Every structure is written in C-alpha cells, then in structure tokens.
Amino acid sequence: MSSAKRRGAFDPNALGGDIDSLLPQTPPRPTPIRPVQPDLASDGQQEREHGRPGSVSAPPAPVVRSARSAPPEAVVAPEVYQTLRKLTMRERQEKPDRARSYGQVVLDAVEAHVDDLASHWRETTAGPAVSRLFQRVDPSQPRRRRHATSPARIPLAGIIPEDIRQLDALASEWGAGSRSALVEEALRRYLKVGQK
C-alpha cells in the first residue's frame, strides 16, 4: 500500500471555485395579467372585423369536488358480523328487490330491542362511599370491549345522517360508551348471537 493519502470520490477543488455560478438563475416572477375590459365602441368594430360579436371569455370556474367520505362504521365481534352477513346474503338471494343493507338491519335491531338496550347499560350503583379514603373508579362506566379475535368493521350504509346522529345520541344517553357497543349489543339480541 502506498503512503499517499486516499481521497474521496468528490474533490471540492475540482469545481474550481464558486458552485453558485454553475446553478441556473432564478426565473423572473411573472406579472399578473389583468383582464382587458372592452369598451362599447370597440365591440362593433370587432364584430365587423371578425364576423362575430366581441366577447371576453370568463376564466373557467374552479372545479369544486365534493369530499367523498366512507359511510359511518361500527366495529363488532366476528361472530356477530358473520351472522349479519349470512342474513343479508340470504335476503339478497331470496328477495333481491327487498334485501336490507347492514345499516337497515342495525336500525331494525335497535328498534326491536329499544327497551332492553336502554336498561342494559343503566347505572345501578349507589353514590360514592363517603367514608373511604380514596376515590375509586366508577364500576358503572362501560369498560373497554375486548374480543377474542379481531373485530370486524361493518359499514352503516343505508342510514341517513340524522339517524347516525340519533344512534350516537342513544349510545351516549344509555351509557353504551360508543356507537359500536350499541350496534353490537343490538345485533346480538336481534340475531340471537350468544351473549359475550
């Protein structure tokens, strides 16, 4: 091996000075174009010269795209999803013109069991004990739902926004914790899926 110093692949002296001189200059800013307002006297002259009335075309209106969003969803246990899917598939095969969407089945389930669902999450605990040294977690609050396998998302298509807001209000009013908890419990009762 030679005693010469190794050099890197890039030699800064190879450019011979200022690197800025090699870069392109910034392009000048374009001046905004102001639309020309034709006066009435020139309209007649323009019509005679070109054979068509003088007109100033308006700039095209910006295209307003509506923000598409997915339908609202609910997260339910896999066994509830499978039973719901079988029901809707069977309805599509037997009477395709009257088959219900997932959202419609959810609304039917909530309506069919409204009294049971309202009482399912009612607070049944007494007030906090005064003699205790520490404050405890309120056991009446809904706990986080847990599933043995990954939960399934069902789109609540076929439900108008007012009904979605009503579902959310009922979940809050009844203490269900979330729309998904309310939907899952309603479907369990409606489809007669084993209780958790």
Domains: count for the chain: 1
pLDDT greater at residue 45 or residue 32: 32
> Of 80, 83, 99, which is closest to residue 91 (Cα–Cα)?
99
50 within some domain: no
pLDDT 10s digits, 91-141: 999 998 999 999 999 999 999 999 999 888 775 334 555 556 777 766 665
Q: Yes or no: say if 80 and 196 are a contact pair by the CB < 8 Å rule.
A: no
176 is a domain residue: yes
Q: Where are the alpha helices (DSSP H) in 95-128?
A: 102-112, 114-120
- Cβ atoms of 152 and 75 closer than 8 Å: yes
Would residue 91 count as lying in a domain?
A: yes
Burial class for 81, CB neighbours closer than 10 Å (0-12, 13-18, 19+): buried
Secondary structure element (H or E) that encloses residue 93, with its range: helix 78-94
Please state the length of the chain: 196
**pLDDT, greater one: 172 or 64:** 172
> Quick check: pTM over 0.85?
no
Mean pLDDT (whole number) for 159-177: 91
Locus of tokens 């069991």: 113
Range(s) of the domain holding residue 80: 73-121+149-191
The alpha carbon dihedral of 82, 87, 92, 93 has a sign of positive
Q: Is pLDDT at 180 greater than 50 in this prediction?
A: yes
What pLDDT shows up at residue 124? 38
pLDDT at 126: 41
Answer yes or no: is 116 within a domain: yes
Query: Does pLDDT of 5 surpass 80?
Result: no
Angle at 154 between CA 151 and CA 157, to 5 degrees: 165
Q: Tokens 């095969």 belong to which residue?
A: 93
Please report whether residue 54 resides in a domain: no
Can you give the pLDDT at residue 141?
A: 58
Distance (Å, whole) CA 148 – CA 143: 16
Angle between helices 102-112 and 179-191 (to 10 degrees): 80
pLDDT at 162 over 90: yes
The answer as to whether 128 is a domain residue is: no
Integer Cα distance of 98 and 95 in angstroms: 6
Higher pLDDT, 32 or 183: 183
* Residue 165 resides in a domain: yes
**What dihedral do alpha carbons 141, 142, 144, 145 form, nearest 10°?**
170
pLDDT at 106: 94
> Among 4-8, 87-91, 164-168, which is the least confidently predicted range?
4-8
Inside any domain, residue 161: yes
Closest alpha carbon to 150 in 73, 72, 81: 81
Distance (Å, rounded) from C-alpha 99 to C-alpha 191?
16
Confidence label for 56 from pLDDT (cuts 50, 70 and 90): low
